[in-house]
Amino acid sequence: MHTAIRPIDNGVNVTALLDAREALSQAPEAARFNWRASCDWIRGTHSRHTIEGFHGLGEPQRHRRRFTFDSDHPEVFASEDQGPTPVEYVLVGLAGCLTAGIAAVAQHRGIQLHSVKASVEGSMDIQGILGMDSEVRNGFDDVRVTFDIDAEASREEIAALVAQSQKRSAVFDLLTNPTQVSVRLA
């Protein structure tokens, strides 16, 4: 059986994650993380974003490099389309979170993944953001994620991977449950 002669490797270090869980159970304060982004307005609806530092394990942390991104609105909104829209960044976060979780859960369960593709779609009635109808919300009214997964497992096992990832996903939680957001002037 070819699955028996090579180890399962999805590139996730499950041992390190289990060790971290054990270490954090002794020092739960270290589990408090702060994630950060900064944003500079360029012009119109175009902004530039920087991600570099965060806080966790009780001390300041840094990504290996600084990441920068532009956001904008598209030409159909009379903008210059210098980057994805803000809501598309949210879809990127959702797909990335669920996919990383699938890889981690698969590794933990000994399931070899070959490919994972996600398509995410969020529908919105822009009468909300345009202030045309106060009954229409600003955000998505519905978000749909479709996974196409090739793995050495049955369809039921693959469905269970997706379900477990969803259960532990930070971004899935952020979208489906309300979060306190405060906005203030410096």
Q: Which of residues 1-30 bind its own copies (CB under 8 A)?
A: 10-13, 16-17, 20-21, 24-25, 28
Is 38 one of the binding residues for its own copies (CB under 8 A)? yes
Nearer to its own copies, 1 or 26 (CB): 26
> Among residues 131, 143, 142, which one has the least CA distance to residue 98?
143
Footprint of its own copies on 155-184 (CB under 8 A): 155, 158-159, 162, 166, 168-184
Is 111 one of the binding residues for its own copies (CB under 8 A)? no
Is 116 one of the binding residues for its own copies (CB under 8 A)? yes
Q: Which residues contact 102 (CB under 8 A, 6 or more apart)?
A: 113, 116, 147, 149, 161, 162, 165
Nearer to its own copies, 140 or 152 (CB): 140
**Cβ at position 23, least distance to its own copies in Å:** 11
Is 109 one of the binding residues for its own copies (CB under 8 A)? no
Q: Tokens standing for 15?
A: 């041992």
**Whats the size of the chain, residue-wise?**
186
Alpha carbon distance, N-terminus to C-terminus of the chain: 63
Is 135 one of the binding residues for its own copies (CB under 8 A)? no
Footprint of its own copies on 60-99 (CB under 8 A): 61, 63-64, 67, 69, 71-79, 81, 83-99
Alpha carbon of residue 100 to chain centroid:
8
Nearer to its own copies, 3 or 92 (CB): 92
Tell me how far apart the alpha carbons of residues 60 and 32 are, in angstroms, rounded to a whole number: 11
> Among residues 160, 142, 165, which one has the least CA distance to residue 91?
142
